[in-house]
Amino acid sequence: MENNWLTKVRDTRTMLRQHVLETILHQMDDEVIGLDLEQKREKYRQMMESPFRFYRGSAYLFYYDMTKIPFSYHTPEDKSTWIQGDLHFENFGAFQNEQGDLIFDVNDFDEGYIGSYLYDVLRMTVSIALICETLELSVEDQEKRIHTYIKSYYKQMKRFNNKKDDPVTLFFSKKNTEGPVRNILKKLEKRKSNQLLEELTVINEHKQRSFVYSDEIQPVEHEERSALEQAWENYIETIDTEDRRNQEHYKIKDVVRKFGSGTASIGLKRYYILVEGGKDEFDDLVLEVKEVRSPIPSYFLPYHEPFWQKYEHQGERVTTTQKMMHHLEDPYLGYMTIDGKYFYVRERSPYKKKVKTKHVPTIEKLDSTLEIMGEITAKIHARADGDVQRELLDYHSEKEIIRAIGDEFETFCTQVTFISMTYKKQVIEDYALFCKWCTEKLDIHVEKEEEQLTPQ
């Protein structure tokens, strides 16, 4: 009899969590995002590859859960931070800034919103725990890696608060980084500036450049291209005045649809646009035009009326997020509306690379990377405040964050670590339930990712 009751307890807990998962997946992916069955299959197939991939594709589940957890160190609602919104280990990367410097920074801004800084910190620390789990590190070593990130974040935030560093001008290049991040930046120096053009395009016998079609690069219908070209003038007008060139510079030479998007971007339209750039055919540029929706955090965090009044256009919200978080942003940043849908535009940089687990063969190299990521997280939070956008944030975020943590850093660190490690277990359990549901209900089958490398 006792065993029967224990079975009922276990099964009831599982059934209730399964119900939560199915409800949230249906509401967000079907009702809000509007994925069709084939798009859901594609997204869920990717999410089934590993717990970390599942975590990346289910940000709405993270916010649904985390916003229900009482936490002592939130900033007040009227002292929110402009957050990145989907901060995890693979949303940092190397690229080239406006002045040609190769830098390492946050590289995804689609979920930018106003809310507590803690949601960025917690989403990142859970991702660290999941990465460490993949690398088969012990629980103690996982907790130490989280500590490394949090301490780096807090130390850099204090430096901003004490005016020892300026978040408006600080950026991370090979001069002030080390380990895997510096190695990636140095390797990118050897990459040719026209490498992307060589990979994506070809010059025909008439000396005209065009895209090369592949599984991921496909032609567009005439009506689709026509709609984009009609919106192009409006896009050019949204580019910052100091960055805007003459009309010929933005002349469209070719347009294609880009498939093979990231997990969270499935169902969104994405185009590659080949534009004139300079007069030489080797000066052509590839711009990316990506559809964007309301940010996932906005469905769960407190409603911020002034924010929505200013950023009704979701493309403008995304480009502004990048401008506020980067020192020297992409000079092609802009936005447009096509058939009532919001898009933003950015350059598809030939200098683009992430730190992956294969780049961190030792714990020391992993710590080095996490320290830089902690500093960058502090930078994006401290930079996107009243120095830039006083009508929304008329206070310094670094002061409010330091005030929220107070003199209790060790307790703060312990709480963040405890919640992150606990939620990591929940993600792994949810992943198992999700895979079972996908296999039995949606008939989706996939080979799991192989573990890449374990730091020693």
Q: Name the residue among 449, 325, 443, 433 with its Cα closest to residue 382.
A: 325
- Give the 3-state secondary structure of residue 345: strand
Question: What was the pLDDT predicted at 456?
Answer: 44
Q: Is residue 280 over pLDDT 80?
A: no
Q: Same structural domain for residues 156 and 11?
A: yes
- φ, ψ of residue 11 to 5 degrees: the values are -65, -35
Ranges of H-type helices in 26-138: 37-47, 51-57, 59-66, 117-134
Alpha-carbon dihedral sign for residues 433, 434, 438, 444: negative
- Bridge partner residues of 257 (DSSP): 218, 271
Range of the domain at 92: 2-183+359-441
Same domain, 151 and 272: no
Separation CA 305–CA 295 (nearest Å): 15
Return the closest-CA partner of residue 420 out of 144, 116, 135, 110.
144
Residue 212 in contact with residue 202, Cβ under 8 Å? yes
E strand or H helix that includes residue 346: strand 341-347
pLDDT of residue 389: 54
* Higher-confidence position of 453 and 168: 168
* Residue with tokens 């009899």, as numbered in its chain: 1
Same domain, 65 and 175: yes
Does the residue 354 lie in any domain?
A: no
Sign of the CA dihedral with 296 first, then 301, 302, and 306 last: negative
Q: How far apart are CA 365 and CA 315, in angstroms?
A: 36
Query: CA Rg, the chain, in Å?
Result: 23
Do 203 and 173 lie in one domain? The reply is: no
Express each pLDDT in 15-62 by its tens digit: 999 999 999 999 999 999 999 999 999 999 999 999 999 999 999 999
State whether 21 and 88 are in the same domain. yes
> Does residue 364 share a domain with residue 339?
no
Is 45 found in the same domain as 144? yes
| Angle CA 52–129–137, to nearest 5 | 105
The answer to whether residue 387 sits within a structural domain is yes
- Those residues with Cβ within 8 angstroms of residue 279's Cβ, 6 or more apart along the chain or in another chain: none
The beta strands (E) that lie in 110-214 are given as 113-115, 201-203, 209-211
Q: Answer yes or no: do 172 and 210 share one domain.
A: no
The answer to whether residue 190 sits within a structural domain is no
Read off the pLDDT of each residue in 60-79 and give the average, rounded to a whole number. Answer: 95
| Average pLDDT over every residue of 224-238 | 96
Report yes or no on 352 lying in a domain.
no
Distance CA 74, CA 198 (A): 48
Q: Which helix (H) or strand (E) holds 308?
A: helix 305-310
Cβ-proximal residues to 271 (8 Å cutoff; 6+ apart), any chain: 220, 228, 255, 256, 257, 258, 288, 289, 290
286 by Cβ neighbours in 10 Å (0-12 / 13-18 / 19+) ranks as buried
What is the overall mean pLDDT for the chain? 91
Q: Which residues partner with 104 through β-bridges?
A: 94
Q: Dihedrals φ, ψ of 302, to 5°?
A: -55, 140
Mean pLDDT is lowest, of 69-83, 157-171, 388-402, 433-447, for 388-402
The verdict on residue 289 lying in a domain is yes
Q: Do residues 341 and 271 share a domain?
A: yes
End of a domain among 347, 378, 398?
347
Domain boundary pick from 296, 320, 347: 347
Contacts (Cβ under 8 Å, ≥6 apart) of 89: 52, 124, 127, 128, 131, 355, 373
Q: Do 326 and 432 fall into the same domain?
A: no
Q: Higher confidence at residue 252 or residue 190? A: 252
| Domain closes at, from 347, 368, 399 | 347
Token pair, residue 304, equals 């911020």
- How many structural domains does the chain have? 2
Task: Write phi, then psi, for 8 (nearest 5 degrees).
Answer: -65, -40
DSSP designation for 76: P
Confidence of residue 448 (pLDDT cuts 50, 70, 90): low
Q: How far apart are CA 236 and CA 438, in angstroms?
A: 43
Pick 419 or 3 by higher pLDDT: 419
Same-domain pairing of 300 and 337:
yes
Mean pLDDT of 370-379: 98
Residue in the structure block whose two tokens are 């510079």:
249
Query: Which pLDDT band, with edges at 50, 70 and 90, does 452 fall under?
Result: very low
Residue 449 forms part of a structural domain = no
Asked if residue 448 belongs to a domain, the reply is: no
- At 308 the pLDDT is 93
Q: Check whether residue 232 and residue 302 sit in a common domain.
A: yes
In a domain, 453, yes or no: no
